[in-house]
């Protein structure tokens, strides 16, 4: 996801805090997806840091239409994207000013099929990419390392599982082939 270009006054800094991408799925013969909620912990020392503003940057794509996507920040709906007829595959994005808190913030999303009196027959996927950009003066706000590690594991677990499985199979094959036969 590309960074937005901000021209900041002297002394101000901006830092992006990525949120792992996620997919919302409206199941077969369903009307809405479940609500997906991602926590983002950002902390700072109020005596050393002054947070001037926070922006939630959202990009979303859908596999079908018509679909509506609701974006929540700290349990308040902040934006709604609507893909009308013929708009599937189109990317929608926005920069939303949000009230950030010192601690755990939550980003949520839910999607629903629109304009139909009956449930949609078929599966609908909506891919959502987000990050939080904080503008501040003073020391840089930070995220806890354990949250960052869990997000990395969540994003990379298939490759970790494949690599671990390959090591186990490789070790078994090596032991079998390296054992002398009588």
Q: What is the pLDDT of residues 134-159, one digit of tens each?
A: 999 999 898 888 887 887 777 777 77
Task: Answer whether residue 131 shows pLDDT above 90.
Answer: yes
Task: Answer whether residue 50 shows pLDDT above 80.
Answer: yes
How much is the pLDDT for 94? 95
Task: Answer whether residue 2 shows pLDDT above 50.
Answer: no
3-state secondary structure the chain: CCCCCCCCCCCCEEEEEEEEEEEEEECCCECECCCEEEEEEEECCCCCEEEEEEEEEEEEEECCCCEEEEEEECCEEEEEEEECCCCCCCCEEEEEEECCCCEEEEEEEEEEECCCCCCECCCEEEEEEEEEEEEEEECCCECCHHHHHHHHHHHHHHHHHHHHHHHHHHHHHHHHHHCCCC
For domain 13-143, the CATH class is: mainly beta
Of 51-55, 83-87, 113-117, 169-173, least confident by mean pLDDT is 113-117
How much is the pLDDT for 1? 47
- Ordered by start, the domain boundaries in the chain are 13-143, 144-182
């Amino acid at each position: 996801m590309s960074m937005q270009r901000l021209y900041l006054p002297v002394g101000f800094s901006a830092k992006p805090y990525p949120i792992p991408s996620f997919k919302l799925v409206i199941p077969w013969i369903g009307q809405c997806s479940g609500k997906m909620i991602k926590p983002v912990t950002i902390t700072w020392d109020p005596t050393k840091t002054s947070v001037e503003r926070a922006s939630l940057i959202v990009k979303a794509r859908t596999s079908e239409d018509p679909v509506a996507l609701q974006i929540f920040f700290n349990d308040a709906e902040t934006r709604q994207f609507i893909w009308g007829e013929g708009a599937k595959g189109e990317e929608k994005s926005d920069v939303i000013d949000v009230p950030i808190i010192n601690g755990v913030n939550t980003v949520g999303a839910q999607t629903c099929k629109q304009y139909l009196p009956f449930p949609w027959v078929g599966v609908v996927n909506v891919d959502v990419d987000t990050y939080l950009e904080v503008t501040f003066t003073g020391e840089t706000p930070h995220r806890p390392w354990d949250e960052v590690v869990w997000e990395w594991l969540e994003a990379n677990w298939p490759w970790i599982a494949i690599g671990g499985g390959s090591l186990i199979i490789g070790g078994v094959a090596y032991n079998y082939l390296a054992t002398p036969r009588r």
